[in-house]
Chain A
Amino acid sequence: MLPISPSYLLYYLPLIIAIALVFGGTRHENTKLIVQHALQTGRWITGFMGIIFIVVCILNWLL
Chain B
Amino acid sequence: MDGQKRDSRATNKKPQMKADSENTILVDGERIDLRNRALAALLAWLVPGAGHFYQRRYAKSILFLVCILSAWVLGFALGGGHVVYASWVPGDKRWHYVLQAGMGGAALPALIQANLIKKATDPKTGVTSDDYEPYWGGFMAPPLRPVRESEADEVSAWYARRGAGYEMGTWYTVIAGLLNILVIYDAYGGPLSVPISGRKKESGDKPKDENSEKAAT
Asked if A23 contacts B172 (CB within 8 A), the reply is no
- Count of interface residues, chain B, beta-carbon cutoff 8 Å: 32
B41 within 8 A of A: no
Residue in B57, B168, B179, B193 whose CB lies within 8 Å of A18: B179
Q: Is the CB of A31 within 8 A of B59?
A: yes
Which residue of A14, A34, A37 is within 8 Å of B63 (Cβ)?
A: A34
Specify the chain B residue showing the minimal Cβ separation from A14. Answer: B74
In the complex, what residue of chain A is closest to B168 when comparing beta carbons?
A11
| Interface presence of B157 (CB below 8 A) | no
What sequence of 0s and 1s flags, for each residue 31-70 of chain B, a beta carbon within 8 Å of any chain A beta carbon?
0100000000000000000000000010110011001101
CB pair B183 A27 closer than 8 Å = no
For A19, give its contact among B59, B175, B198 (CB under 8 Å): B175
A26 to B185, CA, bound (A): 8
Taking CB atoms, residues of chain B closer than 8 Å to A48 are none
Least Cβ–Cβ distance between A61 and chain B, in angstroms: 24
Number of A-B contacts (CB under 8 A): 67
Q: Mark B145-173, 1 if CB is under 8 A from A, else 0.
A: 00000000000000000001000100110
Let me know if A17 is at the binding interface, CB within 8 A. yes
Q: Are A4 and B192 in contact (CB under 8 A)?
A: no
Centre residue among A21, A26, A28 by max chain B CB count within 10 A? A26
Contact among B57, B191, B198 for A40, CB-based, below 8 A: B198
Within 8 A of B (CB), among A11-56: 11, 14-15, 17-19, 21-23, 25-31, 33-34, 37, 40
Q: Which residues of B contact A (CB under 8 A)?
A: 27-30, 32, 57, 59-60, 63-64, 67-68, 70-71, 74, 78, 164, 168, 171-172, 175-176, 179, 182-183, 185-186, 191-194, 198
Q: 20 interchain pairs (CB within 8 A)? A: A15-B175, A18-B175, A18-B176, A19-B175, A22-B182, A23-B182, A25-B60, A25-B183, A26-B182, A26-B183, A26-B191, A27-B192, A28-B27, A28-B191, A29-B27, A29-B28, A29-B57, A31-B59, A34-B60, A40-B198
Report A's interface with B, CB cutoff 8 A. Answer: 4, 8, 11, 14-15, 17-19, 21-23, 25-31, 33-34, 37, 40
